[in-house]
Structures are given as C-alpha cells and as structure tokens.
Structure 1
C-alpha cells in the first residue's frame, strides 16, 4: 500500500475523474468513476516507482497530507 497523497477531482474537459500524486511528478490517471480513478492511480504509482528505480532517479518519500497556506 502506498502512502502518497492522492488528489481526485472531476474534469469537465476530460469528462472523467482525474487522480494525481503531487509528490510524484507526472503521476496521474483517470477513470469514469471515482473508484476507477483511484484503482488506476495505484497501478500508475507502482509503475512510476519501478521506472524511477530502473533509471536511477530519486524516489520521494511520502510526506503524507500536504498543508496549504
């Protein structure tokens, strides 16, 4: 189970739910339902981490909930 913050929102432009992981640049997925987007992003997080390991890129440690001013 990952511990990265996941932000899920409805996109009128894409006509789907979009899930993003702010701590992992470019890590995003979509789905026709909230739960589909959540399921898809879990797969993408794993793939993002595997790709970073293979290419020697640093993998950010999960910070948990982000705080905005």
Structure 2
C-alpha cells in the first residue's frame, strides 16, 4: 500500500509529518529520515485492527480486501 504524506519543517526544529488520507495520523522527528520512520510506525498503529473495538453478531461476516 502506498500513502501520500506531508513532511513540513517545524518551527522548533525537526519535522512534522502527517497522512492526509488518515485523519489524525501525525508524527515528528529530528530529521526527515526519523520523521518518515516514525510516520510508518504511526500508520501501522493507525491501521491495526483492535478486535475488542468491534461487536459482531451471528449475522456478521468478515471479509478481507486488498487496498
């Protein structure tokens, strides 16, 4: 999967990086490389399924799709 990220220099130094297609998925780093590494981790956590967050009924069907 490929996602577009926005990398911006921070006023305090370092970089802030966000993912427009994933609202609230933001990270930062002292260097561009660190910021990009950190946003990859943030994306993984953002997309991670937490089964406790879902309530399934006996009529629910789970289907995996490629994106």
TM-score (norm 2): 0.70
Bigger relative contact order, structure 1 or 2 (CA pairs below 8 A, ≥6 apart): 1
Q: Which residue in the other structure is 2:15 paired with?
A: 17
Output the aligned Cα RMSD. Answer: 1.6
- Extract structure 1 runs of 4+ deviating beyond 3 A: none
Gaps of 5+ in 1: 57-61, 63-69
CA distance in 2, matches of 1:3, 1:28: 16
Structure 2, unmatched stretches of 5+, are 55-66
Q: TM-score, normalised by structure 1?
A: 0.68
Give the superposition deviation at 1:15. 2.2
3-state SS of paired residue (2:9): strand
Q: Whose radius of gyration is greater, 1 or 2? A: 2
Aligned length: 53
| Residue 59 (structure 1) aligns with | none
